[in-house]
Structure 1
Amino acid sequence: MDSGGNETAAGPNTGRPSPWAPPGAGGAPEGPPARPQWTPPASVPPQQPDWPSAPARPGTSGWPPDTLATPRTGGQPARPPAAPAMRATSGLFSSGPPRPTFREPFPVRGGSVALGMLGGGLWMMLFGLLASNAGGYAWITILAGLAAWLVALVLVRMGDRGAAVGIAVSVAVGLAIATIVVAVRWAAGDWLLW
């Protein structure tokens, strides 16, 4: 409406249909609007890119490039190419500063474990051979096992942890054999440890 109260853009007295008229009333167009016609673009012949070719010295193939093939003058050695820059992270996983790497002060190695098992096995076998009966075998195996475990504890604290593991495994096997002997004799009615 203008200042005089007349409708200026559309309405009943302008001869143009109102944009807010219901479908089918007041001359509003029926159906969906017409689609524009598509025209294919004019075909363009493919062109070769205008890339400059690498300059080559006469009599050479052009590879490797001069920066890699010839040393610098003045007695200075050629510098290696710079390392590629690190890729930026995508942000999917948070990336802070790199985590520190902690190393074991006394690492357990397979060779030292094997030597500890060999030494512990010989220790238990030699003490087992000193016994003359099953009761003596049980007691001497228990004492030898306790002594070997003390040595293993000292090795864990101050020495080779791999050897300590090997000794502990051998002593555990030796004490398990002694326990089986005591249990079998106890099942027969004879308690060996008294």
Structure 2
Amino acid sequence: MKVECYGASRPRDGGTGNEDAFWIWRPSSIVAALCDGAGAAQHCAAHVLRLFARQIEGGLLQVQSFPAWAHWVRSTDGALAGGSETTFVGVAVVGDRVLGAYTGDSRAYLVNEGGCRILSEQSGRRIGTGEAEASPIHEPLDPHDTLLLMSDGAWTPLPLTIIHRTVMAARMQDFADLPSMLIDVAGKHGRADDMTVVALRRR
């Protein structure tokens, strides 16, 4: 099974920094994560992703087990409580399924010919509040399905119909361009917030 995964991020109009960050790991299987820092917190988003990357690269986080994801979120939240805050949404491709977790208002979507569906309905508290609790992502990943991770700056301007239409229109183009295409559509009237999109597709 071949899985493609790419991401793109742009700061808000006039912004001097980007509070969003994303990370993609490809060595044996695909793992991807996105964070959106709150309130001049770009260092928090990047820091949390570095912590996550160490767990994945070191084989310390068992991605096929949601309790492992939930434990990592709780322990990271406890370590950062009282400081800067960040959302988290992360997924791993395990066989023909995608597994992961999220907390905060960054979103995951599953897009295919049948439509576009939000996989992260309950937003939860951000990491750093001391009250973050992970919610699970556990979905079949069929051929030609596209999974999106999006920060609120990217998803807020886009109804499900526009996300679906953009993904379907991009099917015959280079998949690496899809994250930037979604950001272009979301920001066509200006970027009021940092925008980040990670796109993953099973071929």
Higher relative contact order (CA 8 A, sep 6+): 2
Q: Which has the higher helix share?
A: 1
TM over 0.5: no
Q: Which has the higher strand share?
A: 2
Q: Normalising by the residue count of structure 1, what TM-score does the alignment of the two structures yield?
A: 0.26
The higher radius of gyration belongs to 1
